[in-house]
Amino acid sequence: MATVVLPRSLVALFPAAERRCLVPGSTVAEVIDGLDARVPGIADRLLAPGPAIREHLNIFVEGERAGLATSVAPDAVVHVIPAVSGG
Amino acid sequence: MATRVLLLVGTRKGAFIAESDAGRAAWSLRGPLCEGWPVHDISVDPASGALFAAAGSPWYGPAVWRSDDLGETWTHSSSGLTYGDEGPAIPTVWNVTAAHGAVFAGVEPAGLFRSDDGGATWSQVAGLREHPSCPAWQPGNGGLILHTIVPHATDPLRMWIGISAVGTFETRDRGATWETRNRGVRADFMPDPNPEFGQCVHKLVAAAGEPETLYQQNHCGVYRSGDGGRSWTEITAGLPSQFGFPMVAHPRDPATAWVIPLNGDDRGRFMPDAAAAAWRTRDRGATWERQAAGLPQEHAFLGVLREAMAVDRLDPVGISFGSSNGELWTSPDEGSTWSQVAAHLPAIWSVEALVVEE
């Protein structure tokens, strides 16, 4: 199970969400599926049509910027990080 | 019985709610709500009393938010609010309107969605984007946005919608097919100023008690229709400018409506002469009167966007507007006198008024 670290602004949208949680999946796409099974609706906040990771979100696997097809090792740490943008 | 009057304010940085009693003199304020998401519109389901907020986060995408306790707590959903994996992404929801047991959402790029479960799930009203004109729709300055939804007062099969730089459409078959409703409305910025579509409707409202009477503030003038939008008569004469965004109709008098003219589309889009005012007609647009008592009359470079004016249902009617620089103003006497509710909110994009009897 990967350890997924979510940003405060995302956790605030879902009462069932936690900042850190263990989620199954061998790719980023599968981890997002697993996250959505645990927190229904959260995939809609992370994914744009395509599907693709939303433009102003970044996902890192073990510190490396990742795409939906990126492999996720069983003990990997996956960070979801909003872009530093806005005014 | 206690009367609560709520002003539901959508801003660039969340929703706010101002609250008063029937006197509408002293106001409290709470917010930001909806986790600070940009909120384009807040409306009330007349059947359930639920509040709906049309929003879009630059990070997390579009959603319609719902509150069943007058804004104390909120949920959100965008399930089904998509053109599919092959279609364009939807960055935000511009309008949410509940009527006849359903909830409708207008989005960018322009399209209409419907929810039959109170906003939990959505499906596209596909007939609108199947209109033959759709491939030729071009965005206006604010984007290609479906910003106005006007359900027919009594017929659930009928509805009008407004799309910037495209115009007004009507359905008479619950959204299966749509027809343009722009005849008589100018599009001065087009090579042909009288096209079938391409008119830049800014706001469309229905008159009280007369389902076929509509008013609109357009990029190019103010108009009235007495035949459900099949033809429009210009009623700009008497106003200081043809340009503005919001328009509201009196909740009981079909002859009375308000607009807030701005100085022009290429002159800064401020209130004329930097003096704030609303303008009221009480004769269906034949004449207009300026209403400015209590509003700033010097150095008032205020702009008011399409959704940022509202009327309540009390007698006399209360009317409120919010400005792009975060000022919220209200009048408890149909525009005769004005006072400031809040001065330092984020940029205000929408205002709705709700009266609750407890």
Q: Where are the domains of chain B?
A: 3-357
Range of the domain at A65: 2-82
Question: What pLDDT is recorded for position B99?
Answer: 97
Question: What pLDDT is recorded for position B205?
Answer: 98
Q: Is residue A87 part of a domain?
A: no
The pLDDT mean for chain A works out to: 96
Per the structure, the count of domains in chain A is: 1
The whole-angstrom distance between B57's CA and the closest CA on chain A is 9
The whole-angstrom distance between A51's CA and the closest CA on chain B is 6
Question: What pLDDT is recorded for position B175?
Answer: 98
Q: In what order do the strands lie in the sheet with B39-44?
A: B39-44, B51-57, B61-67, B75-77
B339 within 8 A of B25, measured Cβ to Cβ: yes
Query: Is pLDDT above 70 for A86?
Result: no
Question: What pLDDT is recorded for position B135?
Answer: 95
Between CA A5 and CA A37 the distance in angstroms is 16
Between CA B87 and CA B152 the distance in angstroms is 30
Question: What pLDDT is recorded for position B311?
Answer: 98
Q: Are A49 and B60 an interchain contact pair (Cβ–Cβ within 8 Å)? A: no
Q: Is residue A51 part of a domain?
A: yes
Tell which CATH classification among 3.30.70.270, 1.10.8.420, 3.20.20.60, 2.130.10.10 matches the domain B3-357: 2.130.10.10
Query: Which residues are within 8 A (CB) of A72 and not within 5 positions of it... i.e. 6 or more apart?
Result: A2, A25, A26, A27, A28, A30, A31, A61, A78
CA dihedral B351, B25, B277, B153 (to 10 degrees): 40
Task: Please tell me which of the candidates B61, B63, B86 has its beta carbon nearest to residue A54.
Answer: B61
Query: Is pLDDT above 90 for A84?
Result: no
Between CA B145 and CA B126 the distance in angstroms is 16
pLDDT tens-digit map of B171-203 = 999 999 999 999 999 999 998 989 999 999 999
Q: Are B87 and A12 an interchain contact pair (Cβ–Cβ within 8 Å)? A: no
Question: Both tokens of residue B243?
Answer: 């340009």
Question: What pLDDT is recorded for position B50?
Answer: 98
Q: Is residue A20 part of a domain?
A: yes
CATH code for the domain of A25: 3.10.20.30
Q: How confident is the model at residue A85 (pLDDT cuts 50, 70, 90)?
A: confident
A-chain CB neighbours of B77 within 8 Å are 41, 44
pLDDT tens-digit map of A36-78 = 999 999 999 999 999 999 999 999 999 999 999 999 999 999 9
pLDDT-above-70 percentage for chain B: 100
Task: Please tell me which of the candidates B35, B58, B85 has its beta carbon nearest to residue A86.
Answer: B58
Residue closest to B214 by CA, chosen among B240, B173, B166, B181: B181
10-residue mean pLDDT series, chain B (358 residues): 96 98 97 98 97 97 98 96 95 97 98 98 98 94 93 97 97 98 95 93 98 97 98 98 98 98 93 97 98 98 98 98 98 98 98 96
Please, which residues 82-141 of chain B have a Cβ atom closer than 8 Å to chain A?
82-89
Question: What pLDDT is recorded for position B140?
Answer: 82
Task: Please tell me which of the candidates A45, A48, A56 has its beta carbon nearest to residue B58.
Answer: A56
